[in-house]
Amino acid sequence: MRPITAADMMSPHVLTVREDMTLEEVANFLIENEISGAPVEDLYGKLVGVVSLTDVARTVADGTEASPRQERTSPDFFLQEWEDQATLREMGEYRLEDTEVQVSQIMTSGVYSVTEETPVPKIARMMIDNHIHRVLVTREERAVGIISTSDLLGLLVEESTS
């Protein structure tokens, strides 16, 4: 029996945002697509980071000048994923007045990625060790899929009911 790999469980439709989108544009994009975060591309289509609703909410709540974040600080990545989902439902209540803030100012720089052949336990270990919620699946430096903590939890539920 072959191990379950990234290709077996990834979501093949990767929605990305541009680094020059405003705070309001990215919040609307995430809400409209019912996702908690997305990879960020530069003007040339190169992956340069990740932005989440938590990043947007933090910027709105702080009401201060945004600065790029270099690493995630969540102590519990599963809890953070559920917080992202709650933020998604509540975000419509906020008015995003500061449209000058761009994604490049609030995103987490860098992208965690795996290949399609990467085994699921290695993906889970990467997510736990780096306190991240999503990993891109890449082929020849292009995103071909995405795996989130929700996908991993779905796999656990599937396994326990089989």
Query: Is residue 57 scored above 80 in pLDDT?
Result: yes
pTM of the complete model: 0.69
**Is 118 inside any structural domain?**
yes
Under DSSP, is residue 147 helix (H, G, I), strand (E, B) or coil? strand
Q: How far is CA 92 from the centre of its chain?
A: 19
Looking at residue 16, its pLDDT comes to: 93
Query: Is residue 95 scored above 90 in pLDDT?
Result: no
Mean pLDDT over residues 73-94, rounded?
A: 44
Q: Which domain holds residue 139?
A: 6-161
CATH number at residue 120: 3.10.580.10
Query: Is residue 75 scored above 50 in pLDDT?
Result: no
**Long-range contacts made by residues 13-18, C-beta under 8 angstroms, separation at least 24?**
14/39, 14/136, 14/143, 14/144, 14/145, 14/146, 16/40, 16/41, 16/47, 16/143, 17/41, 17/51, 17/103, 18/42, 18/43, 18/103
The number of domains in the chain is 1
**Among 145, 45, 27, residue whose Cα is nearest residue 89:** 27
**Is 1 inside any structural domain?**
no
Given a contact cutoff of 8 angstroms between Cβ atoms, the answer to whether 123 and 130 are in contact is no
Looking at residue 71, its pLDDT comes to: 43
